[in-house]
């Protein structure tokens, strides 16, 4: 199948306090239409920087080198003009969801106004209202009429994260890049958000690139997984193959650590 999103030899080197940090250092990665792909790896391995490069929302630091290509539907995201990039984001393109929903929601605006902003392409207020309610329902928020009238601080963490996902779905993207979409949430709410993402993947055929520490989430959602270490991909495999027989020593240690954590939790000692 042809790729929806594909990175080739992507490098993002940052200049931090006068030193070069090779946050992403020659990465190849592919997402096919409708596929759910995971990126895992230890803290600082470059996952977020890679996710940002794939959507060209680069970190707010000096970039010493940005090279390689990121093709979305055949066009190079890293090379395209800013107007073209905006058009792609607004219209059936690439959407990104970050870890901390509060910092991406405007505290002074009710949810209906924020969704309306994301739905500017619709013809009138009636259509905006209807689509806003539909989007909230799609992410599992059934009480849409009430939620639309609330401010972000009046929502729980799980509701905020789902509102953010609803906003990301507003331009009808073909792919959603989600960076640690459940990290800030407690276990039950994490599970609900994961189920929501799974449903969007299965019912709408929404492709996803999920960045996470959580191997349980990978097992639940992903078809394919890339393991990052020190800015590079050290292993790429279908999810079953990775869990059954990791080829790389680092991947094996990551899986062993996750199993130990799981066992400790099951014993109720944490
Ligand atoms: N805004 C920034 N300022 C300074 N250094 C940064 C910045 N963003 C990334 N880096 C550096 O780039 C490297 C990769 O960071 P990145 O945030 O991509 O890792 P990560 O795998 O997402 O980690 P985590 O799991 O903790 O989110 C790290 O060495 C990090 O310190
Ligand atoms: Mg990160």
* pLDDT per position as a tens digit, 112-155: 999 998 898 888 999 999 999 999 988 888 899 999 999 999 99
* Mean per-residue pLDDT, 51-58: 91
> Is residue 222 over pLDDT 80?
yes
In this structure, which residue's CA is closest to atom 31 in ligand 1?
Answer: 44
Query: Does residue 43 lie in a domain region?
Result: no
- The rounded distance, in Å, linking the Cα atoms of 45 and 230 is 5
With cut-offs at 50, 70 and 90, classify the pLDDT of residue 30: very high
CA–centroid distance, 142 to ligand 1, in Å, is 36
For residue 43, what is the DSSP state?
T
Number of domains in the chain: 1
Residue to mutate (ligand 1; options 16, 40, 181; most atoms within 8 A of CB): 16
> Among candidates 180, 204, 182, 200, which has minimal Cα distance to 191?
182
pLDDT mean over 78-91:
86
204 is a domain residue: no
Residue-range definition of the domain harbouring residue 145? 105-170
Query: Bridge-partner residues for 65, per DSSP?
Result: 13
Residue 122 lies in a domain: yes
Strand, coil or helix: 59: coil
Q: What pTM value is reported for the model?
A: 0.89
Asked if residue 25 is part of any domain, the answer here is no
Residue 265 — pLDDT band, cuts 50, 70, 90? Answer: low
Question: Considering the domain boundaries, does residue 146 fall inside one?
Answer: yes
The answer to the question of residue 142 being in a domain is yes
Handedness of CA 262, 265, 269, 270 (dihedral sign): positive
Q: In testing the pocket of ligand 1, which one of 47, 183, 213 has its CB within 8 Å of the most ligand atoms?
A: 47
């Amino acid at each position: 199948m042809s790729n929806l999103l594909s990175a080739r030899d992507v490098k993002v080197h940052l200049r931090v306090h006068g030193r070069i940090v090779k946050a992403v250092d020659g990465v190849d990665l592919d997402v096919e239409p409708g596929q759910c792909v995971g990126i895992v790896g230890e803290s600082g391995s470059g996952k977020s920087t890679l996710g940002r490069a794939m959507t060209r929302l680069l970190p707010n630091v000096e970039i010493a080198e940005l090279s390689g290509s990121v093709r979305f539907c055949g066009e190079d995201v890293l090379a395209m003009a800013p107007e073209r990039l905006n058009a792609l984001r607004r219209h059936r393109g690439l959407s990104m969801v970050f870890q901390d929903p509060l910092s991406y929601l405007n505290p002074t605006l009710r949810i209906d106004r924020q969704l309306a902003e994301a739905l500017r392409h619709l013809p009138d207020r009636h259509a905006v209202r209807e689509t806003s309610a539909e989007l909230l329902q799609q992410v599992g928020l059934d009480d849409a009429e009430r939620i639309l009238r609330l401010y972000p601080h009046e929502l729980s963490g799980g509701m905020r994260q789902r509102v953010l996902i609803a906003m990301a779905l507003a331009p009808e993207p073909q792919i959603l890049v989600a960076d640690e979409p459940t990290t800030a949430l407690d276990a039950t709410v994490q599970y609900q958000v994961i189920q929501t993402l799974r449903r969007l993947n299965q019912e709408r055929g929404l492709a996803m690139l999920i960045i996470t520490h959580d191997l349980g989430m990978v097992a639940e959602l992903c078809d394919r997984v890339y393991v990052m270490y020190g800015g590079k991909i050290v292993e790429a495999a279908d999810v079953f193959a990775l869990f059954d027989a990791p080829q790389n020593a680092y991947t094996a240690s990551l899986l062993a650590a996750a199993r130990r954590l799981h066992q400790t939790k099951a014993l109720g000692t944490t």
